[in-house]
Amino acid sequence: MRAARADDLGRLLPDSLGTTTIAMLTAWFALWSWRGLVQHPQHFLGPALAAGVLLVVAGSVARALRVPAALVPLVELVVVGLFVNHHYAAAASWHGLAPTRGSLASLVDTAVAGAQAINKYTSPVPARYDESYLFLLCCSLGIMLAVDLLACGLRRVPLAGLPILLALTIPISILDSGLTWPVFVITALLYLLLLSTEQSRRVLAWGRSVAGSGRRWDSLDQQANSSAIRSAALRIGLLATAGALVLPILVPVTDGVFGQPGGSGVGNGSGDSVVIANPIVDLRRDLVQKKHVPLVYAQTSDPDTSYLRLAVLDDYTGNDWRPSPRHLPTRNRVDGAMPQPPGLLRSIPGSTASWSLRLAPSFDTRWLPTPYPVRSVQVGGDWRYDARTLDIVDTDPGSSVADTTYRLIAFHPRLDAVRLDDALSAPGNVQDPMTSVPSNLPPVIARTALRVTRKAQSPYARAVALQDWFRHGGGFTYSTARRPGSGMSELAAFITNDKVGFCEQFAAAMAVMGRTLGIPSRVAVGFLHPQPTGTRGNWVYTTDDLHAWPEMYFSGYGWVVFDPTPAVRTGAPPAYTRQQLPAHPPTPALRPPTPKTQKAVKQEKVSQPATHAGSSTGSALWLPVGAGVLLLLLLACSPRLVRDSRRRGWLRPGQDAPGLAAGAWAELHATAVDLGLPWPAQRTARETGRALARHLDGADRTALEALVGFVERARYARPFGLDGAEEQSVIAHAEATVSGLAAAASPARRRVAAVWPPSVFRRHQQSPAPAPENRAEVGV
């Protein structure tokens, strides 16, 4: 017994060891795609490899010893568990090896903390949260065990692709960074090798082993072994992998139906794009607490120091406004000149001012406060900007931002209400994502927006109308006592009944309403006004100055600041929103802007229902598509139409007897062709009728015989006149015969005849009517 076991071990171990090793390596290389999750990936990849080696040894020895298949995963789990316990909780373990209650509890606690750290912090998680390595190690071991169980235990290698796929796709969804090509290639080739190893095992076991000596046949030169299969597998695998590397370049990939800017970076490294904490959370807390903590010190001669922006919340989820995932490749590092703000024409005049700023030590921010728009920024550290929002993010998670000093040149475009009023609609890449609202948005929000802006004629006028409604038309009250929140139902309550809130609600509500009106809108978070400190030109922004305001997009000017928060908090709204709008036709004189006159002007305007800006572009798109579909339908129906018109021509009343006979006969022939019935060629009417009569019975057969009689008479008898009653009966007979033939055919054939009658495409189907002179001779 023991000898047999040892024999088994010697025979089965190489095979088992090979497969298990390949499976483990495949899983391990797939885990390399998780590198971007933490700062030092070797801290979990290294232990994972060590545990994988243990797993391979335990698994292959257990299988070679023919341990029951259900027990092998348990053995592996115990071995790997002991390893993890030793590696992470040796102190609490008995002799550093055997797990105790305490060591297990500490392991679980650490793993849970690691999971939380990974959830909480942006990837890569900083090295100081080393509990995340244990969590990733546990996930890695789970993947490895699953691959081992499926590929080696159950021998279902194709299914083992699923955990590998899971491992490869997790970073796609979390990291938003591309799968690097070496990881992809190595994983793919190893997986294919695993697949072919399993297949070659099956193939070699298929043939009967002659004389039990391992010989597959008695050929002189060599034995069948897996090397031939493996070399073919390698060739096919390399070809397929190369194709998988090259072909997707040609595949047009959308930005995703969910409006998420996808990881469009192909192989450009990891950590480009991050999800960043929502600054509005801090805003609520700080506004309510009123702690007067200084956050930013600024030194500038700029006359306009308001609206120092931290971040842009451009994604309304229905629960809150939040920053969409930022795309932050290395080339977007903040180093001097900034790109032209989106939508702002270079020709727009304005003034520039240089700033010098310093972040207070207590300000733990990952967003850099800047005015908007800004011409250039000079800052140390790994700050990067997002090209769409131009807000600046710290991408170095380990660094401290305290006391960061930076210089910038702000640009204040000279905005003009008249020009803004004439602004064209936004381009599609701004219009579509920036006007999207959740489909289940309470309709009262859109209704209220329409009602408030019904007198405004342009998007800009509507935006101003909204702002004014919030500030003094709608009866809103500013209070930080309100419970924070900008969910859909809270906003609906806020604009209908509640009407008490602080800047978060005002900004969120105006931005959502603007979006329902088709104006691209978003919320910006930052500081409202600084307090002057000390000498002239020195300012400080404190927690009290935190503010949120909507930004709306107008072509040519880009994102324009509005402020719906009442004056008790913000003072006067931006100057351009106070300018009088030209009436239609525009009045040349710009009167001093007062709320009263503005109201008066607005009342003069002709009432016009707001139209959704997207509708015009939509209809423009649908027109050619609809026309194309219609054309296709027409094309598809045309044989049917031709056939119908021919039938009407053949069986029309008012023909002479030979004409009607020829027509009826042609109709009969066409019907037979349509239905696929045999139509004997070059036969007399009577013989043809006899052939057709086999498909008919009862009244239809009688009708056919009557029709044949009429045709014979018309062809061969002396010419005769046709009275109305006979004409009707001939047509009725022809129709009865045709319908009888159709009823005799198979349903499929009938459908073909109805939609695509083949007779239309046949030539010479109309039996030529006998020439009149022949008939005359016969008559004589």
Partner 1 sequence: MREALRSLTLRGRAFLAGGTTAVFCGIVMGEHDLVRIGVLVLLLPLVTAGWVAHAGNRLGLVRTLSARQVETGQSAQVQLELTNLGPTTGVLMVEEQLPYSLGSRPRFVVDTMASGWRRRIDYVVRSDVRGAYAIGPMRLRVSDPFGLIELQRSFQQTSQLVVTPRVEPLPWISLRRSWSGSGDNRPRSFATGSAADVTVREYHLGDDLRRVHWRSTARTGELMVRREEQPWQSRCTLFVDNRVRAHRGRGISSSLEAAVVATASIAVHLAAQGYQVRLISATGEQLGHGWHDGGQAVDAHHLLEQLAVLPAVDAGALVTDWVDDAVTSGMFVGVLGAFDDHDRAFFSRIHSPGGTPYALVLDVAGWPAPRASGPPTPGSEAASRTGWLRAHGWKATALAARTPLASAWQELGR
Interaction site with partner 1 (CB under 8 A): 158, 161, 165, 168-169, 172, 178-179, 184, 188, 192, 195-196, 198-200, 202-204, 206-208, 210, 216-219, 222-225, 228-230, 232-233, 235-237, 239-241, 243-245, 247-248, 251-258, 260, 262-264, 266
Cβ closest to partner 1, residue 428 vs residue 678: 428
Cβ closest to partner 1, residue 251 vs residue 780: 251
Cβ closest to partner 1, residue 192 vs residue 464: 192
Measure the CA angle with vertex 635, ends 630 and 639; round to 5°: 140
Cβ closest to partner 1, residue 223 vs residue 531: 223
Cβ closest to partner 1, residue 61 vs residue 233: 233
Cβ closest to partner 1, residue 112 vs residue 244: 244
Cβ closest to partner 1, residue 201 vs residue 690: 201
Q: Shortest Cβ distance from residue 513 to partner 1 (Å)?
A: 29
Q: Shortest Cβ distance from residue 206 to partner 1 (Å)?
A: 5
Token digits for 528? 């409202």
Q: Shortest Cβ distance from residue 41 to partner 1 (Å)?
A: 18
Cβ closest to partner 1, residue 263 vs residue 397: 263
Q: Shortest Cβ distance from residue 209 to partner 1 (Å)?
A: 9
Phi and psi of 570, rounded to 5°?
Answer: -105, -10
Phi and psi of 486, rounded to 5°?
Answer: -135, 35
Cβ closest to partner 1, residue 218 vs residue 773: 218
Torsion, Cα 535 407 529 322, to 10 degrees, reads -160
Separation of alpha carbons 750 and 127, rounded Å: 74
Cβ closest to partner 1, residue 113 vs residue 172: 172
Enter the DSSP assignment of 471.
I
Q: Shortest Cβ distance from residue 687 to partner 1 (Å)?
A: 45
Token digits for 499? 């009407």
Q: What is the 3-state secondary structure (H, E, C) of 116-184?
A: HHHHHCCCCECCCCCHHHHHHHHHHHHHHHHHHHHHHHCCCHHHHHHHHHHHHHHHHHHHCCCCCHHHH
Q: Shortest Cβ distance from residue 268 to partner 1 (Å)?
A: 11
Q: Shortest Cβ distance from residue 387 to partner 1 (Å)?
A: 17
Q: Shortest Cβ distance from residue 228 to partner 1 (Å)?
A: 4
Separation of alpha carbons 130 and 117, rounded Å: 9
Distances (CA, A) of 655 to 658, 708, 709, 779: 8, 18, 18, 21
Q: Shortest Cβ distance from residue 245 to partner 1 (Å)?
A: 7
Separation of alpha carbons 551 and 549, rounded Å: 7
Q: Shortest Cβ distance from residue 255 to partner 1 (Å)?
A: 5
Q: Shortest Cβ distance from residue 227 to partner 1 (Å)?
A: 9
- Of 581, 116, 558, 545, the C-alpha closest to 360 is 545
Alpha helix positions (H), 442-522: 443-452, 459-468, 488-493, 503-516
Torsion, Cα 393 396 397 403, to 10 degrees, reads -70
> Measured in Å, how far apart are the chain's first and last C-alpha atoms?
115
690's torsion region: left (phi>0), alpha (psi -120 to 50) or beta?
Answer: alpha
Cβ closest to partner 1, residue 245 vs residue 601: 245
Q: What is the 3-state secondary structure (H, E, C) of 627-687?
A: HHHHHHHHHHHHHHHHHHHHHHHHCCCCCCHHHHHHHHHHHHHHHHHHHCCCCCCCCCHHH
Separation of alpha carbons 527 and 523, rounded Å: 13
Strands 500-501 and 477-478, bridge-based pairing: parallel
